[in-house]
Amino acid sequence: MWSHTKALYISCVIISELWLCSRAELFTAISDVEPLLETHKRIIDDLHYYIDKEETRLQVLKKHLNMYKQEHVKALEDVPNYLGNPVNAFTLIKRLTTDLDYIEDSIKKGTEYIKNITMTHEGVKYPTLEDLTGAAQALTRLQDTYQLEVSELAEGKLNGVVYREDDSSVHHTPMSASDCYELGRALYIEMDYTNALSWMMEALRKYKEENEPHPFSEGDILEYISFAHHLLGDSRTAMEWTKKLLEVDPKHPRARGNISHYQKAIDESLKKRRETGEEEEKPKRTKVDVLSENERLSYEALCRGEMKIPPEIAMRLKCRYLTENHPFLKIAPIKMEQMYIKPDIIIFHEVIYDDEIEHIKELSKPRFRRATVHDPTTGNRVPAQYRISKSAWLLDEESPIVARVSRRVRDFTGLSLESAEELQVVNYGIGGHYEPHYDFGRKGEQTSFGESNGNRIATVLFYMSEVAQGGATVFTELGLSLFPVHRAAAFWLNLHPSGEGDLATRHAACPVLQGSKWVSNKWIHQVGQELIKPCDLEYQEEGIIRQIPKPMPKSLS
């Protein structure tokens, strides 16, 4: 567009100069005027070209505007439900990052509109490319954990449920070719080539279905697909895709060079296999997993609700009203449900109320920071990919409601809060999760909570929201899944009576598939429990844990 615009500008300059240099002579001879008709025709052609391009550009901008307006109306109808859909959350971030860059590039620089739309407004939040990458990784985490197909996820199917636009209970717009392309590109940059390849294939399918301009070409998609195959160790397939790229764009600047590169890789691989006698190379893994394969399988199966606790445990579980621990419980007993025995894991129902929840949320939001984990070497708190959420800490002294919730913890646990930590409030993000971990400090680890109050003897976890899908608390050594129950609290002891850590309490927060998960937790320490939970003289090894059947991969079962 700009080359023709420039030509138009030059044509105008030429006319101006001719007029200034010879305006007194052109009219004196028709032969001198005749060449101006060629210039006149060129200007007509250039203006037609420029106007056509401007109209196309404006059509693209109008399409973006209409889509933004439609999505905004949907979002405002039910903000939590809309943003609780991970596809909606991802596309919102994309619209305010890469799409916004494209819009700005489509508008002439220097106009007042550019000044108004750019990220210079005080107090206005814009996501960053890091947010886009995080949202992309969250979608792949959901794919892996809940065994979602890319093609179904891109069309609005979450865990086998289709979310239609005419369904008033949910709000969803299928992903576009541009959405899939940017998601794939973000994963490619993060070197997750397996998932990048899947999303680029989906982008290619949608690109061919959508008859509209894009800020990228079919060749761009094909190049990513071919190079992802190469980086996964399959240069032969990369070669085939590059040949398809040349069919689409014979003058592609890198395609022929890539073919030479792939052929060299194929030859070197063949030579190596001949020398070593190895069989065909297997595709490379591109994701580093800190969990063992068995624990990963257990964790994901528990998140999907596919594993059940042993029958010999299940048949002994009971529900009852808690009336001990505090005199007040005699007149206001609490519903108590056993979820496991040894270690005892309890759900206390209706122990936090809606007005308390809203107050705690509002108090926490201004303080939210990225959730961190203990570095076992330094004891410092650091961010990590295996914990995606934001958290804040609330003191009893700053709010009578927070203090009231803490007193209630003392009542239903029967433990002293003399050395308890502040109330931690957590909201999980897109695909938010916390992979298997222990709440107590293990031997040899540096912890941020120090040693003066002893180790974390118990955990109380309040569920402060409904979660439509996902978000379970799972115990990977027990085969136990606790799905969030609004206004309830989970409780368990982290330590054996001897004070040694109970490895059977290893647990995780599963990724949130649909909805917004709010929790708060109170960690109770050993100091102050000397007369309530005295140490047992019998020593217990930290390493003794029970064995549960490990799930087989879905493809093998």
According to the model, what pLDDT value does residue 364 have? 94
Q: Which pair of tokens denotes residue 380?
A: 């410092």
Run of H or E including 437: strand 434-437
Which one-letter DSSP state was computed for residue 327?
G
- CB of 498 within 8 A of CB of 538? yes
* Interval 426-433 mean pLDDT: 88
Return the beta strands (E) in 261-309 as ranges: none
According to the model, what pLDDT value does residue 22 have? 43
- CB of 510 within 8 A of CB of 467? no
- CB of 127 within 8 A of CB of 97? yes
Residue extents of the structural domains in the chain: 294-320+350-405+417-525
pLDDT digits (tens, 9 = 90+) for 495-545: 999 889 999 999 999 999 988 899 999 999 999 888 887 776 555 555 444
Domain 294-320+350-405+417-525: which CATH number of 3.30.930.10, 3.30.830.10, 1.20.970.10, 2.60.120.620: 2.60.120.620
Stated pTM of the model: 0.79
pLDDT digits (tens, 9 = 90+) for 208-247: 999 888 889 999 999 999 999 999 999 999 999 999 999 9
- CB of 135 within 8 A of CB of 153? no
SS3 assignment, position 192: coil
pLDDT digits (tens, 9 = 90+) for 380-394: 766 667 677 889 999
